[in-house]
A and B are shown apart, each in its own frame.
Chain A
Amino acid sequence: DAGITQSPRHKVTETGTPVTLRCHQTENHRYMYWYRQDPGHGLRLIHYSYGVKDTDKGEVSDGYSVSRSKTEDFLLTLESATSSQTSVYFCAVGAGGNEQFFGPGTRLTVL
């Protein structure tokens, strides 16, 4: 499972509140990614990181921010959660090749 954990695994929150999801890896992979998965859309990239403090936007980055202060941790923040951000969020890591390895996911419900 590439040593990836995500926390929390489930969260219910209210519209307008900030939410932070954490991805932790144990294998020192350089690249880390945040995706969301929704029916009919598949996996879509939110943000990614190519090193400590180096991040960039993906396909669906509006309303999300990320931070990576340590190699092992990649945080995704929803600054003010909306119902459209109800989704399953996956973290992935990559060593520098083209393959990516996924974490177990976080189910987020925004009421």
Chain B
Amino acid sequence: QKEVEQDPGPLSVPEGAIVSLNCTYSNSAFQYFMWYRQYSRKGPELLMYTYSSGNKEDGRFTAQVDKSSKYISLFIRDSQPSDSATYLCAMTFGGGGNKLTFGTGTQLKVEL
């Protein structure tokens, strides 16, 4: 069983929908959580970074962490076709310079 599980999708939604992307993890030692967005044939781009349970908002994006359930989410409000990409969750134990453990990514398509 992988340390980080992520539904690969694909997930297809209409423009303007609220999107929910999720990851579960098994190692309770993970303390820092990230979401990356990866467009086709591009490198991953850091989207959100959180280190505590609760919500963090940045524009249309909200990252949510529930350490008690070992569950993280990324919500996208008012989704746009430009949000079509693969979304990767990542996490680390912390301490600086630490190795990241990634989910396999969820492919999202936002349709007009």
Interface size class of B (residues with CB under 8 A): 20 to 34
A102 pairs with B43, CB closer than 8 A: yes
Interface of B is mostly: loop
Q: Which partner residue on chain A sits nearest B41 by CB separation?
A: A105
B104 pairs with A98, CB closer than 8 A: no
Contacts of B88 in A (CB 8 A): 42-43
B44 pairs with A43, CB closer than 8 A: yes
Interface flag for A48 (CB, 8 Å): yes
Known A-B contacts A42-B88, A42-B105; the reply to A101 vs B46 at CB < 8 A is yes
Q: Which partner residue on chain A sits nearest B8 by CB separation?
A: A40
Tell me the count of chain A residues lying within 8 A, CB to CB, of chain B: 26
Interface flag for B45 (CB, 8 Å): yes
Query: How far apart are B92's CB and chain A's nearest CB, in angstroms?
Result: 5
Known A-B contacts A43-B88, A43-B102, A98-B92; the reply to A90 vs B97 at CB < 8 A is no
List chain B positions with a Cβ less than 8 A from chain A.
6, 8, 32, 34, 36, 41-46, 49, 51, 88, 90, 92, 94, 96-100, 102-105
